[in-house]
Amino acid sequence: MKKCLLILLVLPVFLTAQTPFPALGPVFKDDVIPRVDITMPTDSLAQMLVPGSEYHWHARFVFDNGQIKDTVENIGIKIKGNTSIWANKKSFRISFNTYEEGRKWQGLEKLNLNGNHNDPLSARAKISCDLLRSMGVIGSRANHVKLYVNGIYYGLYINVEHVDEQFVKLRYGSDEGNLYKCLWPADLVFKGNNPNLYKEELGGRRAYELVTNTSLDDYSDLAQFIAVLNNTPIADLPCELEKLFNVDAYLKTLAFDVLDGNWDGYAYNKNNFYLYHNPVTDKFEYIPYDLDNTLGIDWLGVDWITQNVYSWAPTNQARPLVQRLMAVPAYKKRFTQYMRSFLQTVFTTESLFPYLDSLKALIRPALQADSYYPQDYGFDMDDFDNAWFTELPFNHTPVGLKPYIQGRRSSALQQLNNSDANPTIQRTAHDYLPPANGINFSAAASDDYQMGAVQVCYRWGGQDPVTCLALLDDGLNGDGAASDGIYGVYLDLAGQSGLMEYYTEATDNLGQKGRLPACGWRVIYVGAEARPLVINEFMASNSGYYPDAAGEYEDWVELYHPGPWPFSIKTFYLTDDMAVPGKWRLPDSLMVKDSYRVFWADSDETQGQMHTNFKLSAEGEHLALFRKNGDAFSLCDQYAFSDVQPGQAIGRLPNGTGAFQPVQPTPGAINQPPTAVQEAASDEQVLLVFPNPATNRISVKLMKENEAIEEMALMDANGRQHLHWKGSGRKTLELAIEPVLSGMYFLKITTSSGHAIWQRVLVL
């Protein structure tokens, strides 16, 4: 199948460990149609097909694309969708981790098999996903599959990548942020500053449904974003909004919506999108999904071919994310730039029509054998053949696919303003090694006319003077290949160190400027004082204190990244032998600011990437952290320890910066001195926690006189807070913990006198 759509129009630059446009791989391979087989009890199948149940039915899953054939036992499957659950051709969600927690298949936890019963082409969602990819907009991978259930052919389906923790971690480098699934009527209109106002339900679900960090249920980040979007004066909007939201990526998404005719997303129908608060950048990202009502499909009586590209949203309804961005002249010009570029390179008959012809030839035989295809609207194969070229006599198919593309392209070109956009800086980066002799700045910048110059301007300690250096795109200054739109420059620090502020500025040949950040400065720490990663705590004799995922009590090492920016750890190595600095390489991942990472020193790498190839000796040895630069290793942190007792933790006090000494064991959390847990007399206890292990409830009683509980938090080993309670001066609390998954947690109790008491809690 000819791949006309897989050339990214704008080459973005991303942080290490981010793969914004991952390869299709075997699961989404689309030059063939893989076969998916589901086997399940007949009575379970009959009950599953009745709308209304959210239960995942047990089944066997087999995937065969001609190159690989995999079988996965004990998966969960259910019907999915909103109105589509009533269709004869159902859509299904397959879950690999419902009955085996943490399990993934080919890096995925779930698959969406969409019937697309209202599309006579059975292809619009797949085409739209490919358009997203070709336009440089992050979205789901997709392909067609043939679905068999208990050996019976259920028809041609579109396999669409599920948006979940795996999706965002792969594309944005972290899955720890809040991910909101936004459904009608998610208009992003300001309701007030109280975050709970955005938890309003409609029809038994929230318009903004939090699908990660659900135990915290904290909507404060969403409330802040919506407040800034709605209440900031237009003149100040770029400065304030770009601190919280990836505006440039959304402008490209809006251009896609307008060309693709995606009226069932946010811009027109306040529906079908995700917002992800990416902790790597501390900004929200917009993710489109459910792209079947596109490319000429219409249920609203609107001519999507001629719909005004600048007034895409309904004029009588509030869509602040579209309307307020279009009120900023620079954003409107940038949107125009993306529209024009897409219309010249991606959304053309020369690019799309050969691709569509290949897709049609690929899927036609599988659809012809699909007995479910005609059951909802009476489609037949003549309808399939004609729908590529002309309208069909159904309520929602007023135009053929190819005429839609031709008409939308012609209309959009006529409507575009003749304006030149300011230069756009997609991303800036810096790279240095502590202790560093220099720092390399780089930036990805583009312009729709002709770039004049790109420069980085910096100052020390927040004080003038400001010095500016030209960034070059010659392939010789840490900028990648020559003329690739990535610019770079090397700055010799000459022994300087400390706080540096910088911004990047691009100027085109018409004198128009673009700046990142839009206002203010980016703050970094460079030179000998920079310590992006430290050994923060370890336990060389884990005697029944803290189990790993397998329930084994192994030695562990905690690393800490103080920030202030996300940091890749893949060039770092841990070792217990100073003569072998590269003994064990840390995994390719990011640590966000003020975060912890716990590794198991158990000499058992078969248990996963968090397990090292060495053990610690309780009798004493050398623990060290190295960083590799080319072929050379530089020592970043070390500690030589002598004999340690079972259950004794050694860590830095103050946390992250102080000297190593005995500490209260707090893997994945801030270090506490041993006195943080108040020693009680032999005939009394400071704290009673029961039952422990616990299931759905737990009781906590503070025994110390003249003390009361002010607040409590349940935290995991990575320092993430799952539950929080106010004690309000009481000495006893009974708490529900049933939303929490099984595992080892830490209960942190803050008392009325300010003491912090830590208690292990095992949740079954």
Q: What is the DSSP string of 442-479?
A: EEEEE-SS-EEEEEEEEEETTEEEEEEEEEB-SSSSSS
Distant-in-sequence, close-in-space partners of 23: CB < 8 Å, separation ≥ 6: none
Write the secondary structure of 396-418 as one string of H (helix), E (strand) and C (coil): CCCCCHHHHHHHHHHHHHHHCCC
Lowest mean pLDDT among 158-162, 547-551, 681-685, 741-745: 681-685
Lowest mean pLDDT among 311-315, 564-568, 578-582: 564-568
| Residue 35 pLDDT greater than 60, yes or no | yes
Nearest Cα neighbor of 647 from 659, 633, 664, 661 is 664
Nearest Cα neighbor of 115 from 359, 392, 397, 374 is 374
Tell me the pLDDT band of 684, cut-offs 50, 70 and 90: very low
435 preceded by a cis bond (ω within 30 of 0):
yes
Residues in the chain: 764
- Tell me the sheet residues that pair with 147: 36, 155
Segment 503-520, tens digit of pLDDT? 999 999 989 999 999 999
Q: Is 229 exposed, middle or buried (0-12, 13-18, 19+ CB in 10 A)?
A: buried
pLDDT value, residue 718: 52
Q: Which residue has the higher pLDDT, 699 or 69?
A: 69
Residue 650 token pair: 């050694």
Q: Which amino acid is at 322?
A: V
Rounded to whole angstroms, how far apart are CA atoms 40 and 211? 28
| Residue 10 pLDDT greater than 90, yes or no | no
Q: Cα 275 to chain center, whole Å?
A: 9
pLDDT value, residue 82: 79
Predicted TM-score of the model (pTM): 0.78
Tell me the pLDDT band of 368, cut-offs 50, 70 and 90: very high
| Residue 659 pLDDT greater than 90, yes or no | no
Contact 562, 672 (CB under 8 A): no
Query: DSSP letter at 248?
Result: H
Q: Report the top-level CATH class of 424-526.
A: mainly beta
Q: Which residue has the higher pLDDT, 674 or 664?
A: 664
Tell me the pLDDT band of 744, cut-offs 50, 70 and 90: low
pLDDT value, residue 213: 92
| Residue 274 pLDDT greater than 80, yes or no | yes
pLDDT value, residue 683: 31
Backbone angles phi, psi at 14, to 5 degrees: -130, 160
Mean pLDDT over the full length of the chain = 88
pLDDT value, residue 499: 80
pLDDT value, residue 716: 66
Contact 76, 58 (CB under 8 A): yes
Lowest mean pLDDT among 86-95, 497-506, 705-714: 705-714
Backbone angles phi, psi at 120, to 5 degrees: -65, -20
Segment 421-440, tens digit of pLDDT? 889 998 887 775 444 567 88
Q: Which residue has the higher pLDDT, 169 or 31?
A: 31
Q: Which residue has the higher pLDDT, 436 or 632?
A: 632
Q: Which residue has the higher pLDDT, 187 or 597?
A: 187
Rounded to whole angstroms, how far apart are CA atoms 727 and 729? 5
Number of H helices, E strands in the chain: 12, 39
Contact 430, 471 (CB under 8 A): no
Q: Cα 289 to chain center, whole Å?
A: 14
Rounded to whole angstroms, how far apart are CA atoms 37 and 26? 16
Mean pLDDT of 623-631: 83
Tell me the pLDDT band of 87, cut-offs 50, 70 and 90: very high
| Residue 537 pLDDT greater than 50, yes or no | yes
Categorise residue 472: left if φ over 0, alpha if ψ from -120 to 50, beta otherwise: beta
Of the ranges 52-61, 294-303, 718-727, which is most confident?
294-303
Tell me the pLDDT band of 497, cut-offs 50, 70 and 90: confident
Rounded to whole angstroms, how far apart are CA atoms 666 and 652? 12
Q: What share of the chain is helix, strand, coil (3-state, %, to 5)?
A: 20, 35, 45
Contact 376, 88 (CB under 8 A): yes
Rounded to whole angstroms, how far apart are CA atoms 422 and 445? 11
| Residue 287 pLDDT greater than 90, yes or no | yes
pLDDT value, residue 365: 98
**CA dihedral sign of residues 384, 386, 387, 392:** negative
Q: Determine what percent of the chain is predicted with pLDDT higher than 90.
A: 59
Tell me the pLDDT band of 47, cut-offs 50, 70 and 90: very high
Mean pLDDT of 146-165: 97
pLDDT value, residue 676: 41
Nearest Cα neighbor of 162 from 120, 84, 83, 107 is 107
pLDDT value, residue 410: 98
Rounded to whole angstroms, how far apart are CA atoms 560 and 535? 7
Mean pLDDT of 183-208: 95
Q: Which residue has the higher pLDDT, 622 or 676?
A: 622
Segment 328-366, tens digit of pLDDT? 999 999 999 999 999 999 999 999 999 999 999 999 999
Distant-in-sequence, close-in-space partners of 749: CB < 8 Å, separation ≥ 6: 687, 700, 702, 709, 711, 712, 727, 756, 757, 758, 759
Distant-in-sequence, close-in-space partners of 585: CB < 8 Å, separation ≥ 6: 570, 572, 573
pLDDT value, residue 5: 40
* Topology given in CATH for the domain delimited by 677-763: Immunoglobulin-like (2.60.40)
Segment 439-488, tens digit of pLDDT? 889 999 988 878 999 999 999 988 999 999 999 999 998 888 899 999 99
In terms of DSSP bridges, do strands 69-80 and 486-492 run parallel, antiparallel, or are they unpaired?
unpaired
pLDDT value, residue 3: 36
Lowest mean pLDDT among 107-116, 234-243, 253-262, 438-447: 438-447
Tell me the pLDDT band of 700, cut-offs 50, 70 and 90: confident
Terminal CA-to-CA distance of the chain, rounded, Å? 51
Q: Is 152 exposed, middle or buried (0-12, 13-18, 19+ CB in 10 A)?
A: exposed
Q: Cα 693 to chain center, whole Å?
A: 33
pLDDT value, residue 680: 34
Give the H or E element holding residue 369: none
Rounded to whole angstroms, how far apart are CA atoms 486 and 428? 9
Residue 36 token pair: 């998916």
pLDDT value, residue 719: 56
Which residues in the chain are classed under CATH 2.60.40.1930? Answer: 677-763
Nearest Cα neighbor of 390 from 414, 406, 413, 410 is 406
pLDDT value, residue 119: 97
Nearest Cα neighbor of 225 from 155, 147, 310, 324 is 324
Which residues in the chain are classed under CATH 2.60.40.10? Answer: 424-526
Tell me the pLDDT band of 257, cut-offs 50, 70 and 90: very high
pLDDT value, residue 461: 84
Rounded to whole angstroms, how far apart are CA atoms 431 and 477? 12
Query: DSSP letter at 107?
Result: T
Nearest Cα neighbor of 763 from 747, 733, 740 is 740
